[in-house]
């Protein structure tokens, strides 16, 4: 075959590389966007990349069903975090009139 | 090339492409819908990794719940027309350099480590094992996370219903 083996058979490293790229994109969203909702989406991306790592290790490594349990708990806590973060965003919008995090600097002044 | 390899590359392209659209799109509604494709592709990844229950939970909680919450957040925190919502991007070059550095470091570490690999087992059905673990080893975290969800929901409702300018909730005595 013309296709080398490391391309033809995706293994643990392929999933890890995808999750590393997702993590860096999430960091990019968190530190470069100024909208609070965009930052929230970046945090979700970071949580998902960590989850992909855990599930990949539970398939290829020795972390069998425990990895699935950890992934489930991460998903649950991400749901709670999203609900609380939306409530905080609504309060910020009510007080400051926008969700631009650069304008939320009352504690700094 | 096998079907699973083809599926892997298809969904990897879908995940990374739509995540990039999510990060770099000016329109926040487009970002939210790109995030939906990323999360659905990750659910497909979990199915490829024989984690069926995690895949279904990802679809239910993320695509069905968190994405709707994010869209509600977009709609409740903007004025004017929904289609014209633009957001700012600051420090684009330092942020890009920093996240590129993080990606390069992570990929280097991942590829240069000798992972301890277990022999692959053809485990098709994991739901029964997860249920037994939830009722035995993970009983305490399961209960604690239930209480945590309840607290988070009550807290979110209390915070979100407070109107600006009215700091104290009206007292019940009257």
A35: domain CATH number is 1.10.287.3510
Nearest CA in chain B to A38: B28
Does residue A88 lie within any of the structural domains?
Answer: yes
Contact B87 A3 (CB under 8 A): no
> A55 CB near a chain B CB, below 8 Å?
yes
Residues of B whose CB is below 8 A from A55: 45-46, 49, 51, 54
What is the residue extent of each domain of chain B? 1-93, 125-162
Does residue A2 lie within any of the structural domains?
Answer: no
ipTM, two decimals, is 0.89
Residue A25's domain spans which residues? Answer: 11-96
Residues of B whose CB is below 8 A from A34: 87-90
In whole angstroms, give the CA distance from residue A68 to residue B70. 25
- Helix axis angle, A64-96 relative to B127-135, nearest 10°? 80
Note down pLDDT in tens along chain B; length 174 residues. 688 889 999 999 999 999 999 999 888 889 999 999 999 999 999 999 888 899 999 999 999 889 998 998 888 887 766 656 667 777 889 999 999 999 999 999 999 988 888 777 776 677 888 999 999 999 999 999 999 999 999 999 998 887 655 555 555 544
Residues of B whose CB is below 8 A from A104: none
Closest Cα partner for B23 from B92, B83, B85? B92
**SS3 (DSSP) at B27:** strand
Q: Where are the alpha helices (DSSP H) in chain A?
A: 5-8, 12-32, 36-60, 64-96
Note down pLDDT in tens along chain A; length 109 residues. 567 777 777 888 999 999 999 999 999 999 998 888 999 999 999 999 999 999 999 988 888 888 999 999 999 999 999 999 999 998 888 888 888 888 887 777 7
Report the domain count for chain A.
1
Q: Which of residues 56-85 of A touch B (CB under 8 A)?
A: 56, 58-62, 64-69, 71-73, 75-84
Does residue A101 lie within any of the structural domains?
Answer: no
Contact A48 B5 (CB under 8 A): no
pLDDT digits (tens, 9 = 90+) for B18-47: 999 999 988 888 999 999 999 999 999 999
Classify residue A99 by burial, with Cβ atoms within 10 Å: 0-12, 13-18, 19+. Answer: buried
**SS3 (DSSP) at B86:** strand
Task: Classify domain B1-93 at the CATH topology level.
Answer: 1.20.120
> A103 CB near a chain B CB, below 8 Å?
no
């Amino acid at each position: 075959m013309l296709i080398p083996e490391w391309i033809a058979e995706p293994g643990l490293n392929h999933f890890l590389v995808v999750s590393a790229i997702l993590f860096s994109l999430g960091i990019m969203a968190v530190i470069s966007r100024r909208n609070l909702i965009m930052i929230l989406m970046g945090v979700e991306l970071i949580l998902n990349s960590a989850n992909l790592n855990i599930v990949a290790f539970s398939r290829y490594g020795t972390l069998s069903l425990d990895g699935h349990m950890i992934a489930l708990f991460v998903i649950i806590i991400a749901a709670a975090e999203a609900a609380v973060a939306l409530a905080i965003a609504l309060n910020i919008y009510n007080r400051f009139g926008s969700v631009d995090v650069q304008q939320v600097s009352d504690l700094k002044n | 090339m096998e079907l699973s390899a083809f599926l892997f590359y298809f969904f990897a392209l879908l995940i990374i492409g739509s995540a990039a659209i999510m990060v770099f799109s000016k329109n926040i509604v487009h970002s939210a819908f790109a995030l939906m494709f990323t999360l659905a592709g990750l659910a497909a990844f979990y199915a490829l990794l024989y984690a069926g229950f995690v895949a279904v939970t990802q679809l239910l909680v993320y695509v069905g719940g968190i994405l709707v919450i994010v869209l509600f957040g977009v709609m409740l925190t903007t004025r004017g027309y929904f289609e014209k919502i633009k957001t700012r991007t600051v420090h684009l070059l330092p942020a890009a350099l920093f996240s590129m550095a993080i990606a390069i470091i992570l990929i280097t570490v991942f590829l240069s480590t000798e992972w301890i690999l277990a022999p692959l087992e053809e485990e098709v059905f994991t739901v029964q094992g997860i249920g037994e673990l939830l009722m035995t080893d993970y009983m305490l975290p399961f209960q604690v996370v239930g209480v945590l969800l309840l607290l988070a929901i009550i807290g979110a409702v209390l915070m979100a219903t407070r109107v600006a300018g009215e700091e104290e909730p009206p007292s019940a005595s009257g």
